[in-house]
Every structure is written in C-alpha cells, then in structure tokens.
Amino acid sequence: AQSVTQPDIHITVSEGASLELRCNYSYGATPYLFWYVQSPGQGLQLLLKYFSGDTLVQGIKGFEAEFKRSQSSFNLRKPSVHWSDAAEYFCAVGAVSSASKIIFGSGTRLSIRP
Amino acid sequence: EAGVAQSPRYKIIEKRQSVAFWCNPISGHATLYWYQQILGQGPKLLIQFQNNGVVDDSQLPKDRFSAERLKGVDSTLKIQPAKLEDSAVYLCASSSTANTEAFFGQGTRLTVV
C-alpha cells in the first residue's frame, strides 16, 4: 500500500534562508510524487510533480524537489524563502496505474521568521 | 479554465443532522476525489470516482457517508447522521486521469456541534 511520511511537523526559518522539507514514501512500484501547498482557509495548490525522467524537478514559486529512489525520498527545497511562503506543505504519492489514488502525508507547517 | 467548484463554503449543523456537499469538477476531468481534512492533518481520501463509477471507497464510513457522481460530472457527498468527529474540511478534487495531478476546490468547512 502507498504511504507518505513527513517527519517534520513544524519548521521555522528566517526570511532569506534556504529551506528543505523532507518527504519519504513507501510504494512497491514506480511512484508519482507531488508537493502541494495550502494557505490558511484555502484549497491545495500544486507546487511540482515527478512522473519520470530528470529526478530534479522545478516547480512554481522557486521551489524544486529531488527524487531519490534509493532513499525513497522526494524532498522539497527553496534557496531563499519569502514571508509569503508561510503555509502548510503536503507531500503526496500516486502510482502508475489507471486505478491509482493520491495519498497525502500529514503535512509540514512552515513559519517564516522576519 | 474554471477550477473545481464546491458549495457551500461553510456549514454548521447539530449532531445527528444530515448534510450534503456539492462539487463541480473541471470540465472534461474523468477522475473525481473527495477528501476529508481534519484540523492539523493531511487530506484523507474518502472516495474516488472514474467517470461515474467508484474506484476506491475503502476509507468511506459507509454507515453514514454516501457519495454519488451522476452522469460522470457533478458529485455530491452526504453525511447522515453527522457525528462530532465529522467536523473537518471536505475537499473535492479532479484530474484528467487517475494518475495525474489533482486540482482542488476551496473546500467545505463542516462544524458539527
């Protein structure tokens, strides 16, 4: 069965500092991987996705993520965070299947220190 | 392109009452999902439709929750009777196929008192 672990519940970084949010997944076959962001009171917005090919994927708002099959990880990074990046971030895993479902992690709340 | 539409945005009901949520997915999207997001947690998949057929409803509490997607377009999710622990945001999402990115609506925040 698919599962996603986000080990960090809450992270605080200073504005302008770099960011890395961790995500580990469990799935027996080739996964599809996603990062979503959720601002308070809003729905989820897709930041980036990995289906195949280059393991370093670029997303919106300056985010990137790297798929490492050997570590079952898909960590999200940003070189310099802005105050507007404060939000909840969710990693999700799908599968290469017509009956695939998308399973979400428990999320990491990002706070930005001025 | 219009996004996923959900209504209502907010609902407050008493326990044991019934409630229904409506979702209109992005035009042409065959796959529709309903997720439950309890405060402080990640979204939990309740049910997934492919056109008007159910693909997965393993996490749907079928004694009180029901969902339908008539004609493979709009969908409704119903809770009857509601319990206090059903207080959550109910998110609808759609995707062009089952294994591509899902687009989410704004959600319906349900409070059961």
Neighbours of A111 (CB within 10 A): 12
Q: Report CB contact under 8 Å: A98, B42.
A: no
CA distance A10 to chain B (A): 11
With 0-12 / 13-18 / 19 or more C-beta atoms within 10 angstroms meaning exposed / middle / buried, residue A79 is exposed
What pLDDT score does A97 carry?
A: 64
Measured between beta carbons, which residues in chain A are less than 8 angstroms from residue B93? 44, 102
User: pLDDT tens digits for A4-22?
Assistant: 999 999 999 999 999 999 9
Counting Cα atoms < 13 Å in the Cβ hemisphere of A97 gives: 15
CA distance A1 to chain B (A): 12
What pLDDT score does A98 carry?
A: 54
Q: Report CB contact under 8 Å: A100, B91.
A: no
- Indicate the DSSP class of residue A30: P
Among the partner residues B41, B98, B103, nearest to A100 by beta-carbon distance: B98
User: pLDDT tens digits for B19-71?
Assistant: 999 999 999 999 999 999 999 899 999 999 998 899 899 999 999 999 999 88
Helix (H) or strand (E) holding B96: none
Is the pLDDT score of B2 beyond 90? no
Neighbours of B41 (CB within 10 A): 13
